[in-house]
Structure 1
């Protein structure tokens, strides 16, 4: 039984070391692309075994905090964790929770209206311009295979325009998790027209700074979309989230 205890202690030490490295990255004001110290220097600095250091670095690489360059002059290089890193970790947790598409749709429905309201209060001129451009592209592609992807892009932009990066992160991650589901179904021509009509209302309310108008329009849009998916393909919304679908 002793090896199991030792393995547990090693894993805990590697995690603690990973946290120390992150704190040092922050304290050193390192940015993406900066090289960290070589392995021998890190071993001396943190006073750990080589295996512990490598396990900590592998953990940080999986989280998108660093990437490991191979070859001469290689080693850990600071990276910037992306939405996909978060979505991937979240999908693994949801996999074991037996979460399904219906649960993701309900979560989206719970936050989307408030996200739109915050965007109406906080969107910048740049946000509004990008949203308007995306909506125009959506209108041009109403009948094309690009509609669903552009639709998700609009909602992602709205999430980041809320002024709260947590909303942006969660909105984008939810779209990554539901992407494969929605691609297998798609929207009918009638539903696409409905989506566009409400997106125009949302954008107009956001432009005017009308938080309540944006909230109401988005609430109707996401509720209608969830109802459409549930009625058209009830078996699809019952499908489980599986790690690796993002």
Structure 2
């Protein structure tokens, strides 16, 4: 072989360079072996200080954590025009805070029949005006913001949004809650979106069932257990359970 002819010295790789803390490697080894595991708990009443991201198997629990966490989607995208329009607002906020796109931005553009992504740049002032309404206008600002969203979509899309209703304005209310948070929220993602990514510190929102699965040991044959394994092994330094 070429390496042999050049007399390069070979060294066996016996340790992963991924883990920066032995406790995180120990957790990953235990999970792979199906051994019981528990996570240290972070009660984030004062905000999830010290974590870079919060993960959950589903989107809804992330929104239930409160203003300290800004999920990058409302739910698995269903294709509704109102959801798509709210996703444009969510994307604007996420870009400003994290420099990250909303997870279903492309789906939202497709649902609104917008093929030119440059439209996003063109409507930034409009989206900022809507964001300002949400931030400063209280509950009345949510309705006013939704009306502005309707007007914006009418200007850039052949789609039309339905009249204000709590089922449509509720997404803007969720965004408004995050805008009212005095600090910098952390992004929220599902384990599916987090697969393959890494952070130094990861918070996880566990359900009672998730916690029981960890306590009794994960099985490679369970899809839910595999998702939990992904969530618990995204951190280089530490993984914690985040409580409301």
Same fold (TM over 0.5): no
- Structure showing greater relative contact order (alpha-carbon pairs closer than 8 Å, 6 or more residues apart): 2
TM-score between the two structures when normalised by the length of structure 2: 0.26
Structure with the largest fraction of strand: 2
Structure with the largest fraction of helix: 1
